[in-house]
Amino acid sequence: MRTIITSVVATAILIIAGSALAVEMPADVKAKCGACHAMDQKIIGPSFTEIAKKYKGDKDAAGKIIANVVKGGSFGWNLGSMPPKGLGASDAEVKSASEFITGLAK
Ligand code: HEC
């Protein structure tokens, strides 16, 4: 009996830990950016994980990403051109999305 309880608890902990690791895009980011960006795979634009890697260790990463998202265009990924502010993101959404991306760099 004790082993059953122990394994049930262990499984539950693994499930909780697993879902904490899979970071989801916040809903507003998904709405304004998700048509072209995914967390882990390239769609039209690079994945947010790849972008976070590009800026890893850069102290001014959030500032640079905000500036690029606001002006749009090409940033060296050779995937074409991004529309300024994606699909009509507000300044606050650009800021929170950019901070979300830099937060992915570990
Ligand atoms: C219509 C498609 C589209 C939408 C919508 C879009 N992007 Fe992009 N994004 C792109 C493409 C394409 C690139 C890569 C451009 C290149 O080849 O350099 C890109 C690149 C980027 C980069 C990389 C910048 C760099 O410095 O390397 C960031 C950050 C980014 N997007 C953030 C966002 C955010 C945040 C949103 C939502 C507010 C968003 N994008 C919405 C198409 C899109």
Binding residues for heme c: 33, 37, 82
Q: Are 69 and 98 in contact (CB under 8 A)?
A: yes
**Domain span at residue 80?**
24-102
The CATH number linked to 48 is 1.10.760.10
pLDDT tens string 8-31: 666 665 555 555 567 899 999 999
In a domain, 55, yes or no: yes
- What's the Rg (C-alpha) of the chain? 18
In a domain, 1, yes or no: no
Pocket test for ligand 1, best of 28, 36, 104 (most atoms within 8 A of CB): 36
State the pTM of this model: 0.85
In a domain, 70, yes or no: yes
In a domain, 80, yes or no: yes
In a domain, 64, yes or no: yes
pLDDT tens string 72-95: 999 999 999 999 999 999 999 999
Q: Are 55 and 64 in contact (CB under 8 A)?
A: yes
Q: How many separate domains does the chain show?
A: 1
